[in-house]
Amino acid sequence: MTAGSACGWAAGVLGVVCLALQFDSISCHFPMFGTVNQSVTFPVSSSAPFTEIMWTKNRDKVLEWEAGSSVRVFPPFVGRVHLDTTSGSLTIFNLTYSDEADYKLDSLSSGDILFTLKVIDPLPSPTLNCTLAAEDITVNCRIPESYNFIQHLNYSWNCFPALCKNGSNMSEVVIKRNNDLSQEIRCTVNSPLSKQTSLLVLATCVPAENSRSRFAIIPAVVIPLVAGVIFLAVQKRFSAMWQRNRENRPQLTGASR
Ligand SMILES: *[C@@H]1O[C@H](CO)[C@@H](O)[C@H](O)[C@H]1NC(C)=O
Ligand SMILES: *[C@@H]1O[C@H](CO)[C@@H](O)[C@H](O)[C@H]1NC(C)=O
Ligand SMILES: *[C@@H]1O[C@H](CO)[C@@H](O)[C@H](O)[C@H]1NC(C)=O
Ligand SMILES: *[C@@H]1O[C@H](CO)[C@@H](O)[C@H](O)[C@H]1NC(C)=O
Ligand SMILES: *[C@@H]1O[C@H](CO)[C@@H](O)[C@H](O)[C@H]1NC(C)=O
Ligand SMILES: *[C@@H]1O[C@H](CO)[C@@H](O)[C@H](O)[C@H]1NC(C)=O
């Protein structure tokens, strides 16, 4: 029944599919993710100690081991794998895209356990972008198209529901323009292995005069502006007066002659 206990543990992991076959034999199927150039460990937890282990990749041998002898590793995994002979777990280092495959632990002690490995890019930071319509601001959270796992990402926003309405998909929110645009919103992108967050100050989405934050800007901008206008007007007035005086002076002197 060791197969059953290994799979019972496995069933606690999200997305695992276990099929009960006849005669106590149970086959489990784990989705696994690894980041390119990093490592991945296929976790096995068997209640009985192992006496022999074989790991295969799409039916090709990765390694084999028997109690009392050393682990024999096959290309292209030589120098790139580690077997924990106690737990049965296999670790692959320096992952490449060509490591993507089905991996199977074959052992009398545990039954078969199958892992399907996907090798994904490191997750970049999202780019936040906004587009302006009459009433609304639509904010988009984007990961470059080149990211190899883009359709499996999910997006979340730290934004009060009163402020942010759902857009046409998770990577988009819609905000009414008449909100307080001095706040910032954050988009968090989750891959199966990591997450990245970027933020956007909403005021940067609208031309300055349309922003609510103009109320904060009024004293800072308007006062010097008014002072400047008054100064220019006064200066113009004085220079006009001075000019007139200069024009009038010859007449006056002429008249006094
Ligand atoms: C993985 O490592 C190789 C060699 O060290 C490097 O050229 C490549 O850019 C790396 N890839 C990523 C996604 O980090
Ligand atoms: C991974 O690759 C780098 C060079 O690309 C190498 O220096 C390093 O030793 C490798 N690590 C393992 C565990 O094989
Ligand atoms: C963000 O929007 C600007 C203008 O609308 C556009 O030029 C730019 O390419 C967009 N950036 C991204 C990453 O989509
Ligand atoms: C917006 O989407 C979230 C998660 O996708 C959901 O929980 C929420 O109910 C949605 N709200 C509206 C108004 O559709
Ligand atoms: C969300 O919708 C926009 C436009 O409607 C589209 O360009 C984008 O690819 C979609 N994103 C996702 C994750 O579906
Ligand atoms: C998004 O993905 C993460 C990790 O893959 C997961 O923990 C989270 O529950 C997911 N959220 C939604 C709303 O699907």
Residue bearing the bigger pLDDT, 148 or 196: 196
Phi-psi region of 68 (alpha: psi -120 to 50; beta: other; left: phi over 0): left
The answer to whether residue 212 is domain-embedded is no
Q: Rounded to the nearest whole angstrom, what is the distance from the C-alpha of residue 44 to the centroid of ligand 2?
A: 25
Q: What is the CATH number of the domain that holds 58?
A: 2.60.40.10
Q: Which residues partner with 198 through β-bridges?
A: 187
Helix then strand then coil, in percent of the chain rounded to 5, is 25, 35, 40
Out of 61, 93, 120, a domain closes at 120
Residue 112 pLDDT class (50, 70, 90 cuts): confident
The answer to whether residue 253 is domain-embedded is no
Q: CA separation (Å) from 50 to 60, 106, 141? A: 21, 11, 48
Share of the chain above pLDDT 90, in %: 45
Residue 9 sits in the same domain as residue 106: yes
Residue 39 sits in the same domain as residue 116: yes
Q: Say which residues have a Cβ less than 8 Å from residue 209's Cβ, sequence separation at least 6.
A: none
Out of 174, 191, 206, a domain closes at 206
Q: Which residues partner with 173 through β-bridges?
A: 139, 166
pTM for the whole structure = 0.69
Separation CA 158–CA 195 (nearest Å)? 14
Separation CA 77–CA 102 (nearest Å)? 15
The lowest-confidence range among 9-13, 42-46, 171-175 is 9-13
Q: Is the pLDDT of residue 204 over 60?
A: yes
Q: What angle do CA 107, 108, 114 make, to 5 degrees?
A: 40
Q: Rounded to the nearest whole angstrom, what is the distance from the C-alpha of residue 175 to the centroid of ligand 4?
A: 14
Calculate mean pLDDT across residues 237-243.
Answer: 66
- Residues lining ligand 3, CB < 6 A? 127, 129, 142
Residue 107 sits in the same domain as residue 190: no
Residue 89 sits in the same domain as residue 148: no
Structure tokens at 1: 């029944």
Through-space distance between the first and last CA atoms of the chain, rounded to whole angstroms:
131
The answer to whether residue 230 is domain-embedded is no
Structure tokens at 39: 């490592």
Q: What angle do CA 60, 64, 67 make, to 5 degrees?
A: 165
- Please confirm whether the linkage preceding 75 is cis (ω < 30° from 0): no
Is the separation of the CB atoms in 82 and 75 below 8 Å?
no
Q: Is the pLDDT of residue 143 over 80?
A: yes
Residue 107 sits in the same domain as residue 169: no
Out of 161, 178, 206, a domain closes at 206
Q: Which residues partner with 175 through β-bridges?
A: 137, 164
Residue 112 sits in the same domain as residue 189: no
pLDDT at 6: 44
Residue 145 sits in the same domain as residue 113: no
Q: Which domain holds residue 111?
A: 3-120
171 lines ligand 5 (CB under 6 A): yes
Residue 16 pLDDT class (50, 70, 90 cuts): low
The answer to whether residue 22 is domain-embedded is yes
Residue 105 sits in the same domain as residue 163: no
Residue 169 sits in the same domain as residue 202: yes
Separation CA 185–CA 163 (nearest Å)? 10
The answer to whether residue 256 is domain-embedded is no
Mean pLDDT, the chain, as a whole number? 80
Residue bearing the bigger pLDDT, 121 or 254: 121
Separation CA 103–CA 90 (nearest Å)? 10
pLDDT at 21: 46
Residue 171 sits in the same domain as residue 70: no
pLDDT at 152: 85
The answer to whether residue 251 is domain-embedded is no
Structure tokens at 167: 């857009």
Q: Is the pLDDT of residue 246 over 50?
A: yes
Q: Is the pLDDT of residue 8 over 60?
A: no
pLDDT at 144: 92
169 lines ligand 5 (CB under 6 A): yes
Place of tokens 């049965």: 88
Identify which of 141, 166, 172, 173 to mutate to test ligand 4's pocket (most ligand atoms within 8 A of the CB): 166
Residue 75 sits in the same domain as residue 41: yes
The answer to whether residue 12 is domain-embedded is yes
- Domain count across the chain: 2
Amino acid at 65: W
Separation CA 28–CA 11 (nearest Å)? 8
Of 90-94, 132-136, 173-177, where does the model show the most confidence?
A: 90-94
Residue 23 pLDDT class (50, 70, 90 cuts): very low
Residue 100 sits in the same domain as residue 47: yes
The answer to whether residue 239 is domain-embedded is no
User: What DSSP letter does each residue of 176-240 carry, written as one string?
Assistant: ETTS-TTSEEEEEEE-SS-EEEEEEEGGGGS-GGGSTTHHHHHHHHHHHHHHHHHHHHHHHHHHH
What 3-state class would DSSP assign to 191? Answer: coil
Q: Is the pLDDT of residue 90 over 50?
A: yes
Separation CA 43–CA 29 (nearest Å)? 12
